[in-house]
Chains A and B, each alone.
Chain A
Amino acid sequence: MILIKAFKNLMKRLQLCGMTGFLAGLIAGFIIMFIFLIVPGMVLSVKKAVFLSLILAAFDIIVLLFTEYIILRYTVKSIFWGVFFNSILTCFFTVFACKLLNLYYLAGIIGMVIGAIIGILLCRLNYLLQMRMFKQLNQN
């Protein structure tokens, strides 16, 4: 329960986009870890890494859209692009980070960290774009 409380406090700081990235990275990393347990010694070429990222991203998008629609009651239209970009970027960076570091057994943790960072950066980018639009509207 202590660990759950600690992670819950972390989640409160991440907000929705940070948590979306966190979950995308967690799911992707979890799958990568088990793949490399079942097929150890596998050498991942750049082409295979790209394919792996795309397949994991597609899976992440489906799971996250379902979860955020059922649990948080967002409409699919309102969350789709956020989930899409979060999943694509998180899966790519997670796969390539594991490939570069050759730490596939830690893919779960790597995925969580990368996902949270990408989610926070996307939140920030969204905020800056909204502020820019707001300023332009005021000038008009």
Chain B
Amino acid sequence: MACIERRPNCGSPLPNADLEPLEDIAAVAAVIVSVVTAVVAVISAIGSITVEGDVITIEIGDFVLTQFGSVAGASVAFITAAIIVGTIILYKVERCNGNTGTRECIAGVVNEVVPDFADTVQTMFPFTAMHNRADMVIKSKFWDAAESGDAYVYCTDVEPPERSIIMRCYFYSSQVCSAMDGAIAGGIIGGLVGTAGGYGLMTAIACAGFFLCLLVLLLVVAVAAIFTLAGAAAGGNIAMASSGNSPAVVDDLPVSVGDYLTVRGHMEQKGYDNGANVIWWVDVGSSSLSGQASSDVPSNPYSYCDLDEDFEEDACNYKQ
């Protein structure tokens, strides 16, 4: 076993929460609500709103809109659906654009494989799915690359000197991006149905009083959200099923725990990974398998100390 003196510069024990998808939702919602607020403020300033019985009328110059209650219901439903669909579009932009970072070559042993659609939530809401991922314990000569750019660094949960850096390597999955497309289409259809439902609810129940109005509006938001999410889930699942499975493969063999891998691809810092440097995505054509870790190499987790000795010749052609 050939451990080195240098300790890996691992991320803090309490890493910052990965907030990226929530940031997207909050940003989309904030923009939409701000625009709507601005429109409403302008209408209030230049127009007039009158109430006669249960008919509400908005007048701006020659433009007159009556029975605003039902239109308000449809508007609230539409805005709710727009926020959800907007978020799914941002997911697609973030997860289906790649190969923008610097090219890198990394070698190590596969410590864990996380397939796409790895849990129930990702299966139910396919737009939350992530590409196939192989977590590699990397050789010590690649530590500088993993730590570059003040990135967060994942490490094995063992004491030094065996503590090793783990590099996350993503393999593009066409199924994930197809699911996003299906979710967007399904979300739009669900949103339109939800909007019609919102209009219908406000017309049917109407606003006999303040609290009834409030409860109806909350119901409209809930109905719109449910229809949009259901549409996105259905559309995503249909697209996912028709796209077919696309597992992580190198040299025509599925990547598995214990594989000695040399991966080439673009490296970039991803918010989903707490700001760690990851390979996004692995260039399967120029990556290679170099056998498997032998049974006398301790695993769970693997250590760079054994790796540096057992996997001496990798395909990176990088001399330290």
Which A residues are within 8 Å of any B CB, using their own CB? 3-5, 7-8, 11-12, 15-16, 19, 22-23, 26, 29-31, 33-35, 37-42, 48, 51-52, 55, 59, 63, 67-68, 70-73, 105-109, 112
Say whether A38 contacts B56, CB under 8 Å. Answer: yes
Say whether B51 contacts A40, CB under 8 Å. Answer: yes
**Given A40-B49, A70-B121, A108–B217 Cβ distance below 8 Å?**
no
Contact check: which of B24, B34, B51, B215 meets A109 at CB < 8 Å?
B34
Say whether A38 contacts B213, CB under 8 Å. Answer: yes
Say whether B211 contacts A51, CB under 8 Å. Answer: yes
Is residue B4 contacting chain A, with contact meaning CB distance below 8 A?
no
Is residue B318 contacting chain A, with contact meaning CB distance below 8 A?
no
Known: A11-B27, A52-B214, A68-B22; 14 extra A-B contacts, CB below 8 A, are: A3-B34, A4-B31, A11-B26, A16-B17, A19-B26, A23-B22, A35-B214, A38-B213, A38-B217, A40-B51, A71-B25, A72-B18, A72-B22, A109-B34
Contacts of A35 in B (CB 8 A): 210, 213-214, 217
Give the 6 A-B residue pairs with the shortest CB-CB distance, closest first.
A7-B27, A11-B23, A108-B33, A108-B37, A8-B27, A7-B30
Is residue B128 contacting chain A, with contact meaning CB distance below 8 A?
yes
Contacts of B27 in A (CB 8 A): 4-5, 7-8, 11
Say whether A31 contacts B34, CB under 8 Å. Answer: no
Say whether A4 contacts B28, CB under 8 Å. Answer: yes
Is residue B284 contacting chain A, with contact meaning CB distance below 8 A?
no
The CA-CA distance from A55 to B41 in the complex, in Å, is: 25
Interface SS majority for chain B: helix
The CA-CA distance from A15 to B41 in the complex, in Å, is: 30
Say whether A71 contacts B128, CB under 8 Å. Answer: yes
Is residue B140 contacting chain A, with contact meaning CB distance below 8 A?
no
Which chain A residue lies CB-closest to B21? A71
The CA-CA distance from A47 to B218 in the complex, in Å, is: 20
Chain B window 239-270, contacts with chain A (Cβ cutoff 8 Å), 1 for yes, 0 for no:
00000000000000000000000000000000
Is residue B142 contacting chain A, with contact meaning CB distance below 8 A?
no
The CA-CA distance from A6 to B137 in the complex, in Å, is: 37
The CA-CA distance from A4 to B90 in the complex, in Å, is: 10
Say whether A26 contacts B213, CB under 8 Å. Answer: no
Can you list 6 A-B contacts with CB-CB less than 8 angstroms, sorted by A residue number? Answer: A12-B19, A12-B23, A30-B33, A38-B207, A71-B128, A108-B33
